[in-house]
């Protein structure tokens, strides 16, 4: 296959999925209008309050973080970039020494740091700067005060939310072993806003699931144990590598819809209840009030969204579960659902629900995808900030996708907030007279 | 390696994007990995452009490395030319592609594209955004200018000028251009070409038809202007018309080169700064200590306005771009301050804290530093955030620019009358410390001692401190510094000084006590220090 075929991409569109053998997936390759995995640092550092993220990269990496982090950058954030300079590119040994110097300076300035992530970038990977070795060497020097880990957030390896996946996967080997005879534990995987995490913990407690831990915990040093007794629930659809790492340590994934909307959340909670042998009537008693509250709140927004046509451009891998939620619970019509990467196993229950005519796209050739958006003229297009204003200027209504990653959207009590994120641009479009 | 949280400038290929996005009919094929498209949103969000920047990224991935990245580049270039039908393309590498050494210039040349492909060498590990913009513009001009062009004799026709430098994502470039055009109109000078902003590649071919060049932003246009000087014998106007004085010099210089009468342009009565500055309400501005930081061009212009047009005292002057450090050093010498040439925002923060200014003029970063330190601030230079790409006309250049500058700089200060009232009524609860300076009302109340911790406004009237657990002291004594200790009496006296000058009084007194070797600060020390620092 020539590179041109790769660029043309969609030459072989039919890739039947496990869940739906008949469903065609448009696989495209070309310019991708997406963030790299470094961006995950922006929300991960808020979640893990004792962790610091040191990107080893170029001025571009620092500039990206600064652009993505907005005003956060002014609040002594727990991330920074060690910017490679010309002399660092000259020889490997020198770069490792330089890294030691930067880390020493950083840790001296920030004694509150208990976990330091060395985050690989495109430049550090292309020059083959061995950050795993650096983490090992520095770890030996700074343990037990500081644990030093590494992962890649580079654009050549990761897309946007995959940065969280790579980070969490890097934590898994350091998780203590769950004793073989210990009672089963539930592990919620994926960084959730604290308020959402607390809601879920309350629900599981009410159901009678006693041992529930989260990855990542609010303190990165407070790693949950893992072992064959671990049953884990993915709270996010972009955690393929983390799931694999957990499975390699004997943990078992609980398959479920992702917890968006009344139905997604109920299914996710029920799946956990089943895995822990909770009587269905007990689970329902706990689930019902929240689900009912969510349905009532969604009913108010349904008239604004019902029948509206929506296209998702690829961004975060949240696209498929969100599309399912908008279709099933708000009556929206899915035109195209693009995703940077389609994890067929983790998304099988979601994919099974999408209407047969929905165009699924994996990867991106942005120009061609925009051609389709212009031809389809959906009522609302979910896309990144680089595309949103240009599409608005063409008369299309957009919802910028990044907000879906930064806002609390999981669970019953956020279901209407999630729907509101899509309803607001449409309402605004109707409201403005000039 | 340099440890950085915040950078004043992006990488050089962002500079190239600023030039490409400013122009029409030009496309940039950028060899870059996934993720580098983040830079698009600087243009679509911060500058609120309604079109995507004309940039095609090759988006190579790890699995492409070592095999087909060169092919990927050529395919992307071919596709971009077919889709966008540009008049010319610029080709180059971002920082990662620079490392894999595919040579976009050579690859593009080998393809025999139907349009000129201008190769860019932008060393990402040693240069930055402004340099990238300047180099890109220079390469475009050098490649596309029609060197065979000869100017017709000057007799019997109006003079013609090129306006060089405005780009996309430039601080107030859009409106500066309007003001400069107004001046040229007034002088009867025709505009041959504005570039890069709004220019097409085929317009660049005629760049030699102008009699002279106007270098609006030296950071971007100086390199190209020097080449044009050599190639077409076009002299350049290098005075940047920011401020009333600079605008007058600019008019005189342009008039001289154009052989025009400067009187109508100089007689422009739209300039209100001189009268505003002379009106009695401005008297309190005299000697206000101002710290200035930004790109060299804006910082130097600001220093001159501050000193000569508003009567401030410049207590600090610096820039983040080393390319123009020499000019800044000269201006700093004229202000009698040490120049600060750095791109480390922590060094700038230290310098500001040490200089104890009453007003900070800087970039977005200095805005936040000033907020932290509880100081008034105005923005004079990129990098800036979305609010500094305003909808309203707000130039920095020309006489209207001077009006805008007067308002922008003076508003964050307590106005003269307001300051007088505050002093008179400082015992009244509205003006108590916890109410915070009125000009910072948009922000949270000033935290005790300027610390960053958020504080809820304490019960305002604290004339008679209640017994029991005292609320957080507004100005905690710096006991931990090992410096002189304040007596209770001196501390009480200090509190009678209006809050907006109290910080300075405290610092001055402590510096004085330390210099005198006094271990305690009593009333006498306080007043002796006051006498010592009296102006």
Which ipTM did the prediction report? 0.92
d(C-alpha B207, C-alpha B445), whole Å: 54
pLDDT (tens digit per residue) in B492-522: 888 877 666 777 788 889 988 988 888 899 9
Cα B3 to Cα A50, A57, A103, A105, B238: the distances in Å are: 19, 10, 9, 9, 36
Cα B312 to Cα B304, B342, B499: the distances in Å are: 10, 24, 21
Q: Which of B136-150, B211-225, B426-440, B464-478 has the lowest mean pLDDT?
A: B464-478
Neighboring chain A residues of B83 at a CB cutoff of 8 Å: 367
Q: Is the pLDDT of residue A231 over 70?
A: yes
Active site residues of B: 281
The per-residue pLDDT of chain B, averaged, comes to 88
What pLDDT is stored for residue B433 in this prediction? 55
What pLDDT is stored for residue A260 in this prediction? 98
- B245-271: average pLDDT: 90
Closest partner CB to A34 (pick from B5, B35, B72): B35
| Beta-carbon separation of A392 and B79 below 8 A | no
pLDDT (tens digit per residue) in A76-99: 889 999 999 988 887 766 889 999
Neighboring chain A residues of B65 at a CB cutoff of 8 Å: 126, 156
* Nearest residue of chain A to residue B56 (CA atoms): A31
How far is residue B4 CA from its own chain's centroid?
Answer: 20
What pLDDT is stored for residue B474 in this prediction? 42
What pLDDT is stored for residue B67 in this prediction? 73
Higher pLDDT among residues B232 and B465, named by residue: B232
**Cα within 13 Å of Cα(B509), Cβ side:** 28
Closest partner CB to A36 (pick from B35, B44, B52): B35
Q: Which of A211-220, A266-275, B185-194, B444-453 has the lowest mean pLDDT?
A: B444-453
Q: Environment class of residue A128 by beta-carbon count within 10 Å: exposed (0-12), middle (13-18) or buried (19+)?
A: exposed
Neighboring chain B residues of A38 at a CB cutoff of 8 Å: 35
Neighboring chain A residues of B68 at a CB cutoff of 8 Å: 3, 6
- B382-388: average pLDDT: 94
A147, A114 Cβ separation under 8 angstroms:
yes
Predicted model pTM: 0.88
pLDDT (tens digit per residue) in B387-425: 999 999 999 999 999 999 999 999 988 665 666 566 666
Neighboring chain A residues of B33 at a CB cutoff of 8 Å: 36, 122, 154-156
B507, B315 Cβ separation under 8 angstroms:
no
**Cα within 13 Å of Cα(B188), Cβ side:** 14
Sign of the dihedral defined by the CA atoms of residues A299, A302, A306, A309, in that order: negative
Neighboring chain A residues of B39 at a CB cutoff of 8 Å: 63, 67
In degrees and rounded to multiples of 5, residue A41 shows phi and psi of -55, -35
SS3 state at B11:
coil
What pLDDT is stored for residue B424 in this prediction? 63
A146, A180 Cβ separation under 8 angstroms:
no
- Alpha carbon of B156: minimum distance to chain A alpha carbons (Å): 46
A340, A315 Cβ separation under 8 angstroms:
yes
- Alpha carbon of A301: minimum distance to chain B alpha carbons (Å): 28
The per-residue pLDDT of chain A, averaged, comes to 92
Question: Dihedral, CA atoms, A113, A117, A121, A125, nearest 10 degrees?
Answer: 130
Neighboring chain A residues of B45 at a CB cutoff of 8 Å: 385, 389
For chain B, percent of residues with pLDDT exceeding 70: 86
What pLDDT is stored for residue B437 in this prediction? 52
Strand partners, A61: none
In degrees and rounded to multiples of 5, residue A358 shows phi and psi of -70, 130
d(C-alpha B121, C-alpha B104), whole Å: 9
Selected for mutation to probe chain A from B16, B50, B94, B96 (highest A CB count within 10 Å) is: B96
Q: How is residue B144 written in tokens?
A: 């596309």
In sequence order, the 6+-apart residues with CB closer than 8 A to the CB of A197 are: A188, A214
- A201-226: average pLDDT: 94
Q: How is residue A102 written in tokens?
A: 């930067």
pLDDT (tens digit per residue) in B26-51: 999 999 999 999 999 999 999 999 99
Strand partners, A311: A336, A381
| Beta-carbon separation of A3 and B68 below 8 A | yes
Strand arrangement of the beta sheet that strand A230-234 belongs to? A212-215, A185-189, A230-234, A252-253
What pLDDT is stored for residue B448 in this prediction? 42
What pLDDT is stored for residue B436 in this prediction? 53
A positions 83-142 inside 8 Å of B (CB): 83-86, 88-89, 95, 98-99, 101-102, 105-106, 122-123, 125-127
- Alpha carbon of B505: minimum distance to chain A alpha carbons (Å): 28
d(C-alpha A68, C-alpha A42), whole Å: 8
Q: Is B522 left (phi over 0), alpha (psi -120 to 50) or beta?
A: beta
Q: Environment class of residue B456 by beta-carbon count within 10 Å: exposed (0-12), middle (13-18) or buried (19+)?
A: exposed
| Beta-carbon separation of A389 and B44 below 8 A | yes
What pLDDT is stored for residue A7 in this prediction? 38
What pLDDT is stored for residue B500 in this prediction? 65
Q: How is residue B498 written in tokens?
A: 């209006």
- B348-363: average pLDDT: 95
In sequence order, the 6+-apart residues with CB closer than 8 A to the CB of A135 are: A118, A148, A149, A150
Selected for mutation to probe chain A from B41, B67, B126 (highest A CB count within 10 Å) is: B41
d(C-alpha A382, C-alpha A401), whole Å: 6
Sorting pLDDT into bands at 50, 70 and 90, what band is B469? very low
Q: Does A388 touch chain B (CB under 8 A)?
A: yes
| Beta-carbon separation of A89 and B50 below 8 A | no
What pLDDT is stored for residue B432 in this prediction? 56
d(C-alpha A236, C-alpha A338), whole Å: 17
Question: Dihedral, CA atoms, B447, B448, B452, B458, nearest 10 degrees?
Answer: -40
Neighboring chain A residues of B96 at a CB cutoff of 8 Å: 58, 60, 122-123, 126, 155-156
Q: Is the pLDDT of residue B445 over 70?
A: no
SS3 state at B392:
coil
The number of residues in chain B equals 535
- Alpha carbon of A393: minimum distance to chain B alpha carbons (Å): 6
- A38-65: average pLDDT: 95
Sign of the dihedral defined by the CA atoms of residues B236, B239, B242, B245, in that order: negative
Neighboring chain A residues of B51 at a CB cutoff of 8 Å: 390, 393
Closest partner CB to A63 (pick from B11, B96, B99): B11
- B305-315: average pLDDT: 97
- A188-214: average pLDDT: 96
In sequence order, the 6+-apart residues with CB closer than 8 A to the CB of B159 are: B188, B189, B190, B211, B212, B257, B258, B259, B260
Q: Is the pLDDT of residue B454 over 80?
A: no
Q: Is the pLDDT of residue A23 over 80?
A: no
B132, B16 Cβ separation under 8 angstroms:
yes
Sorting pLDDT into bands at 50, 70 and 90, what band is B487? very high
What pLDDT is stored for residue B101 in this prediction? 82
What pLDDT is stored for residue A22 in this prediction? 56
d(C-alpha B361, C-alpha B485), whole Å: 33
Sorting pLDDT into bands at 50, 70 and 90, what band is A367? very high
| Residue carrying the six token digits 């038809």 | B209
What pLDDT is stored for residue A92 in this prediction? 65
Q: Does A392 touch chain B (CB under 8 A)?
A: yes
What pLDDT is stored for residue B501 in this prediction? 73
pLDDT (tens digit per residue) in A286-329: 999 999 999 999 999 999 999 999 999 999 999 999 999 999 99
pLDDT (tens digit per residue) in B271-299: 899 999 999 989 989 999 999 999 999 99
d(C-alpha B306, C-alpha B292), whole Å: 9
A131, A56 Cβ separation under 8 angstroms:
yes
| Beta-carbon separation of A387 and B52 below 8 A | yes
How far is residue A143 CA from its own chain's centroid?
Answer: 30
d(C-alpha B414, C-alpha B219), whole Å: 34
| Beta-carbon separation of A88 and B125 below 8 A | yes
pLDDT (tens digit per residue) in A130-152: 999 999 999 999 999 999 999 99
- Pick the closest to residue B171 from B203, B219, B238 (CA basis): B219
What pLDDT is stored for residue A221 in this prediction? 83
- E strands, B206-284, are 212-215, 236-237
B201, B23 Cβ separation under 8 angstroms:
yes
- Alpha carbon of B470: minimum distance to chain A alpha carbons (Å): 29
| Beta-carbon separation of A63 and B368 below 8 A | no
What pLDDT is stored for residue B450 in this prediction? 39
- Alpha carbon of A417: minimum distance to chain B alpha carbons (Å): 24
Q: How is residue B333 written in tokens?
A: 């010498």
What pLDDT is stored for residue B431 in this prediction? 53
- Alpha carbon of B350: minimum distance to chain A alpha carbons (Å): 15
| Beta-carbon separation of A67 and B7 below 8 A | no
A positions 5-24 inside 8 Å of B (CB): 6-7
Strand partners, B289: B313
Q: Is the pLDDT of residue A357 over 60?
A: yes
What pLDDT is stored for residue B222 in this prediction? 97
Q: Is the pLDDT of residue A16 over 50?
A: no
* Nearest residue of chain A to residue B65 (CA atoms): A126
């Amino acid at each position: 296959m020539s590179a041109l075929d790769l660029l043309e991409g969609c030459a072989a569109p039919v890739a039947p999925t496990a869940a739906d053998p008949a469903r065609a997936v448009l696989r495209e390759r070309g310019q991708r209008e997406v963030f790299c995995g470094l961006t995950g640092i922006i929300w991960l550092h808020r979640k893990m309050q004792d962790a610091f993220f040191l990107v080893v990269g170029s001025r571009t990496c620092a500039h990206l973080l600064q652009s993505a982090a907005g005003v956060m950058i002014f609040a002594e954030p727990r991330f920074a970039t060690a910017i490679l300079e010309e002399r660092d590119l000259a020889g490997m040994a020198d770069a490792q020494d330089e890294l030691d110097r930067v880390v020493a300076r950083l840790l001296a300035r920030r004694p509150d740091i208990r976990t330091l992530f060395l985050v690989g970038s495109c430049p550090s990977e292309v020059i083959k700067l061995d950050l795993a070795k650096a983490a090992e060497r520095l770890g030996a020097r700074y343990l037990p005060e500081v644990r030093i880990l590494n992962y890649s957030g580079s654009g050549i390896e990761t897309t946007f939310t995959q940065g969280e996946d790579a980070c969490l996967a890097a934590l898994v080997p350091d998780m203590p072993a769950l004793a073989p005879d210990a009672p089963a534990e539930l592990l919620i995987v994926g960084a959730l806003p604290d308020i959402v995490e607390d809601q879920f913990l309350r629900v599981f407690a009410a159901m009678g699931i006693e041992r529930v831990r989260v990855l990542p915990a609010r303190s990165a040093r407070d790693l949950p144990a893992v072992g064959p007794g671990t049953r884990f629930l993915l709270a996010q659809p972009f955690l393929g590598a983390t799931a694999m790492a957990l499975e390699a340590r004997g943990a078992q994934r609980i398959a479920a819809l992702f917890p968006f909307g009344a139905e997604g959340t109920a299914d996710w909670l029920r799946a956990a209840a089943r895995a822990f042998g909770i009587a269905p009537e007990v689970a329902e008693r706990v689930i019902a009030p929240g689900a009912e509250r969510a349905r009532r709140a969604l009913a108010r927004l349904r008239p604004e969204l019902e029948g509206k046509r929506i296209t998702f451009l690829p961004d975060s891998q949240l696209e498929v579960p969100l599309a399912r939620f908008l279709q099933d619970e708000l009556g929206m019509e899915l035109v195209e659902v693009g995703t940077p990467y389609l994890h067929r196993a983790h998304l099988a229950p979601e994919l099974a629900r999408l209407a047969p005519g929905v165009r699924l796209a994996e990867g991106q050739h942005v120009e061609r995808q925009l051609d389709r958006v212009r031809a389809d003229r959906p009522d609302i297009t979910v896309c990144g900030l680089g595309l949103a204003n240009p599409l608005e200027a063409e008369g299309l209504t957009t919802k910028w996708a990044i907000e879906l990653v930064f806002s609390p959207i999981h669970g019953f009590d956020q279901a209407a907030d999630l729907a509101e994120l899509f309803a607001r641009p449409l309402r605004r479009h109707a409201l403005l007279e000039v | 390696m340099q440890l950085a949280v915040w950078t004043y400038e992006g990488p050089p290929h962002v500079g190239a994007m600023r030039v490409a996005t400013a122009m029409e009919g030009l496309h940039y094929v950028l060899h870059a990995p996934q993720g580098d498209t983040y830079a698009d949103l600087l243009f679509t969000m911060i500058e609120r452009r309604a079109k995507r920047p004309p940039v095609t990224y090759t988006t190579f991935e790890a699995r492409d490395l070592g095999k087909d990245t060169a092919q990927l580049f050529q395919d992307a270039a071919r596709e971009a030319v077919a889709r966008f039908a540009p008049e010319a393309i610029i080709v180059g590498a971002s920082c990662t592609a620079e490392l894999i050494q595919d040579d976009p210039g050579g690859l593009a040349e080998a393809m025999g594209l139907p349009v000129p492909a201008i190769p860019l060498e932008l060393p990402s590990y040693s240069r930055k955004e402004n340099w990238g913009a300047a180099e890109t513009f220079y390469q475009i001009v050098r490649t596309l200018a029609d060197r065979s062009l000869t100017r017709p004799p000057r007799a019997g026709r109006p003079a013609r000028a090129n306006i060089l430098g405005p780009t996309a994502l430039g601080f107030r470039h859009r409106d500066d251009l309007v003001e400069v055009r107004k001046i040229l109109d007034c002088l009867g000078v025709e505009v041959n070409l504005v570039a890069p902003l709004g220019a097409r590649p085929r317009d660049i071919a005629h760049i030699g038809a102008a009699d002279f060049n106007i270098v609006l932003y030296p950071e971007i246009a100086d390199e190209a202007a020097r080449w044009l000087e050599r190639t077409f014998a076009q002299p350049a106007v290098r005075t940047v018309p920011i401020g009333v004085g600079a605008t007058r010099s600019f008019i005189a210089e342009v008039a001289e080169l154009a052989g025009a009468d400067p009187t109508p342009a100089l007689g422009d009565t739209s300039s209100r700064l001189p009268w505003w500055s002379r009106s009695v309400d401005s008297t309190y501005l005299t000697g206000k200590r101002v710290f200035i930081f930004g790109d060299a061009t804006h910082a130097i212009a600001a220093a001159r306005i501050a000193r000569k047009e508003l009567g401030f005292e410049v207590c600090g002057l610096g820039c983040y771009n080393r390319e123009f450090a020499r000019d800044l050093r000269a201006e700093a010498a004229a202000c009698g301050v040490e120049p600060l040439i750095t791109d480390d925002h922590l060094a700038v923060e230290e310098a500001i804290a040490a200089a104890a200014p009453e007003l900070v003029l800087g970039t977005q970063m200095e805005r936040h530093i000033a907020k932290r330190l509880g100081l008034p601030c105005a923005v004079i230079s990129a990098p800036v955030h979305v609010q500094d790409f305003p909808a309203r006309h707000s130039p920095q250049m020309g006489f209207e620019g001077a009006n805008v500058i007067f308002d922008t700089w003076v508003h964050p200060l307590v106005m003269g009358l307001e300051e007088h009232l505050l002093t008179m009524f400082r015992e009244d609860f509205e003006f108590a410390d916890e109410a915070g300076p009125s000009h910072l009302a948009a922000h949270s109340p000033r935290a005790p001692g300027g610390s960053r911790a958020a504080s809820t406004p304490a019960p305002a009237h604290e004339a008679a401190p209640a017994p029991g657990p005292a609320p957080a002291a507004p100005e905690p004594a710096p006991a931990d510094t090992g410096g002189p200790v304040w007596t209770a009496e001196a501390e009480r006296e200090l509190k009678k000084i209006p809050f907006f000058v109290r910080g300075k009084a405290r610092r001055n007194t402590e510096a004085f006590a330390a210099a005198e070797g006094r271990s305690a600060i009593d009333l006498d020390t306080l007043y002796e220090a006051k006498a010592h620092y009296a102006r």
